[in-house]
Amino acid sequence: MLWLRSSAGREGGAGAPLWLVWPLAVAGYVLMGRLGLVTAVPPTGAVVLWPPNAVLLTALLASAPRHWPVVLLGGIAAEVAVNWHTLPIAWALAFGTVNAAESTLAASLLRRFSDGPVRLDGLAAVVRFVLLAPLAASATAALAGAALIALRFPEVDYLHTWQVFWLGDGLGLLIVGTTLLVWLAPRAAPEAKIRGRGLEGLVLAAGLLFVSVLTLRLDADLGRLYLLFPFLVWTALRFGMKGATLAILSMTGVATWAMMDGRGPFVDLAGIDQVAARQVLIAVVALSTFILAVAADERRRVTRRLLQSVRELEQARFDLERMNADLDEIVTERTRALRSTLARNEMLLREVHHRVKNNLQLISSLVALQRRGVQEPAMRERMARIQGQIGAIAKTYDLLHQFGASETVDFGPFVPALCAAIEGAEGGRARIEAELQGSAEVSADSAIALSLALNELVTNALKHAGPTPRIRVSCGREGDALVLRVEDDGPGLPEGFDLTAQAGFGVRMVAGLIGQAGGTIRTLATEGGAAFEIRVPVTGAA
């Protein structure tokens, strides 16, 4: 029965198939017309409720506009069939045309002011439906309908007849139209089943039916009509629009039944006045109940969406926490693996330093053995310098192994150790003073270059000094550079000495090593003796 699912929007569309809409519209019109005639009051035939127009309106809303003429012709034919034994065909056609015009006007207004298919799924939608269909369209069509009745019965009051005609058609659209649009609309997301809901509905239906019979049929006291409202409010709040439409239909049926039997309230009024009074009562009760019900439905939908959002947020928070936990575990595992790898690499590097030191000491020993067999002084001196350079490198690797250095090392502690090694190699004839001025970290490669440079400068100073030379070595940090100074008390440098123009291998080697480390070497002016200054960038310097 959810054939409204294909209802076209404001811009038009395919709509429900005509072969389905047309027979349902005609059959529904005839059925509702028969029920409407039951409420007719002589002599004019004014009815309390005229529901066929609601069927025709629903069919138009479910159809594409190009199919409307066929649907409307079916409605007019159904009007003739309904009044076949009570009205001449000409009058039936006239009333059918008025009803068709009313349904067309209501459908056009609703499509014009609605975004998409007409659905009574919110307070704004219900208010819009009431204003455009039962009020505007029915009131306009009632002008022509009341005129037709006045032509048949000139003695009736036109304004009073217009009011009854309008309320009859308007109630049909309000009650039956609302019921059809609510129950034939596509189903929303199913609600969670509430335990005992069925029993509650049965109790509520029985109570409402009992009170309706009591107040609208058995008792003529208008004061007891208020007994209806607690049950209607209960229905609207607990069962929404679907429950409210069923409640209003049952109450309207009881009221109509009572009027047909001449019982209940308003029985003292004249026929047309009694119809108007019952119409106003039903209209007020129905409109109030529908507004309360749709507001309750909206609140439930908002609450359901909020709860869904809360559940989604909770799920997202849980997923995020799980991802964070997984990420923490991954980071911890990776950190542990990196630390293990780093420790293993450092251990391997220290082992390499140790092995290199041992190999260099072996080479130094071999050079010393070869030196003993050499008689030529120049060759012996050259081999001695080579042995000293190898010893300096070996000492550097030994210190790297001792300090556990990997990529960087504080070069300060290297200076006194290297100076002590040179003193030992010279047999104690030289006095080398080592002065440290804070720490300065350099790379391991720079430490090796500095060690070779220090060894070369000190041995050069010893070579040209007297029998008891005195050499001063200082090391410290100045800004972003390590500064190493070597000073002696020897005869000093010859006039016009230029480091870049020296032909000696030792000086060129020192300059090359320091250049590879990104540093500089220069001579310093001093009174007596020679002085050299080496600057090498410390680790982390820009």
Q: Which domains does the chain carry?
A: 1-187 (1.10.1760), 401-537 (3.30.565.10)
Q: Which residue bears the tokens 């003193």?
A: 423
The reported pLDDT for the residue numbered 404 is 64
- Overall size of the chain counted in residues: 542
Of 68, 70, 67, 75, residue with least CA distance to 51: 75
Residues 438-464 have a mean pLDDT of: 83
Q: What is the 3-state secondary structure (H, E, C) of 302-346?
A: HHHHHHHHHHHHHHHHHHHHHHHHHHHHHHHHHHHHHHHHHHHHH
Residues 465-478 have a mean pLDDT of: 83
Residue 53 near residue 7 (C-beta atoms within 8 A):
no
Can you list the alpha helix ranges (DSSP code H) found in 373-504?
Answer: 377-403, 414-425, 444-464
3-state secondary structure of 49: coil
Measured CA angle at 31 (ends 25, 37), to 5 deg: 125
3-state secondary structure of 157: coil
The reported pLDDT for the residue numbered 408 is 81
Average pLDDT, the chain: 83
Alpha carbons 115 and 10: distance in angstroms, whole number: 6
DSSP string over 329-392: HHHHHHHHHHHHHHHHHHHHHHHHHHHHHHHHHHHHHHHHHHHHT---HHHHHHHHHHHHHHHH
Q: Which residue bears the tokens 């594409």?
A: 64
Measured CA angle at 197 (ends 196, 202), to 5 deg: 100
The reported pLDDT for the residue numbered 73 is 96
The reported pLDDT for the residue numbered 371 is 67
Alpha carbons 204 and 210: distance in angstroms, whole number: 10
Beta bridge partners of 47: 40
Kindly report which listed range (194-198, 296-300, 304-308) carries the lowest average pLDDT score: 194-198
pLDDT surpassing 70 at residue 531: yes
The reported pLDDT for the residue numbered 517 is 82
First to last CA, the chain: 80
Kindly report which listed range (22-36, 149-163, 489-503) carries the lowest average pLDDT score: 489-503
Residues 404-431 have a mean pLDDT of: 78
Residue 221's contacts (CB-CB under 8 Å, 6 or more residues apart) are: 265
Alpha carbons 378 and 367: distance in angstroms, whole number: 15
Q: Which residue bears the tokens 């059959």?
A: 27
Model confidence at 11, pLDDT cuts 50, 70, 90, reads very low
Kindly report which listed range (25-39, 60-74, 157-171, 356-370) carries the lowest average pLDDT score: 356-370
The reported pLDDT for the residue numbered 336 is 87
Residues 196-213 have a mean pLDDT of: 88
Residue 486, φ and ψ in degrees, nearest 5: -125, 120
The reported pLDDT for the residue numbered 125 is 93
Could you give the percent of the chain with pLDDT greater than 70? 86
Q: What is the pLDDT of residues 246-259, one digit of tens each?
A: 999 999 999 888 87
The reported pLDDT for the residue numbered 238 is 92
The reported pLDDT for the residue numbered 24 is 94
Q: Where are the beta strands (DSSP E) in 489-530?
A: 520-523
Alpha carbons 106 and 87: distance in angstroms, whole number: 26
Residue 116 near residue 6 (C-beta atoms within 8 A):
no
Kindly report which listed range (233-237, 255-259, 423-427, 447-451) carries the lowest average pLDDT score: 423-427
The token pair that represents 533 in the structure block: 């200054």
Q: What is the pLDDT of residues 118-140, one digit of tens each?
A: 888 889 999 999 999 999 999 99
Beta bridge partners of 436: 475
Model confidence at 29, pLDDT cuts 50, 70, 90, reads very high
Model confidence at 443, pLDDT cuts 50, 70, 90, reads confident
The reported pLDDT for the residue numbered 3 is 42
Q: Which residue bears the tokens 């056609």?
A: 93
The reported pLDDT for the residue numbered 41 is 76
Residue 6 near residue 16 (C-beta atoms within 8 A):
yes
Give the count of beta carbons closer than 10 Å to the beta carbon of residue 484: 25
Q: In this structure, what DSSP letter does residue 135 have?
A: I
As a dihedral over the C-alpha atoms of residue 55, residue 60, residue 63, residue 69, rounded to 10 degrees, the angle is 120
Burial profile 319-336: b = 16 or more Cβ within 10 angstroms, e = fewer: eeeeeeeeeeeeeeeeee
Model confidence at 276, pLDDT cuts 50, 70, 90, reads confident
The reported pLDDT for the residue numbered 462 is 79
Q: What is the pLDDT of residues 487-497, one digit of tens each?
A: 888 777 777 67
The reported pLDDT for the residue numbered 173 is 96
Amino acid at 382: R
Q: Where are the beta strands (DSSP E) in 97-246?
A: none
- Most trustworthy range by pLDDT among 421-425, 429-433, 507-511, 533-537: 533-537
Model confidence at 191, pLDDT cuts 50, 70, 90, reads low
Amino acid at 74: G
Alpha carbons 30 and 41: distance in angstroms, whole number: 19
Residues 142-154 have a mean pLDDT of: 92
Could you give the percent of the chain with pLDDT greater than 90? 37
Q: What is the pLDDT of residues 339-370, one digit of tens each?
A: 887 777 666 666 665 666 577 667 767 766 77
Between the CA of residue 187 and those of 5, 183, 191, what are the distances in Å?
A: 9, 9, 11
Phi-psi label, residue 441: left if phi above 0, alpha if psi -120 to 50, beta otherwise: beta
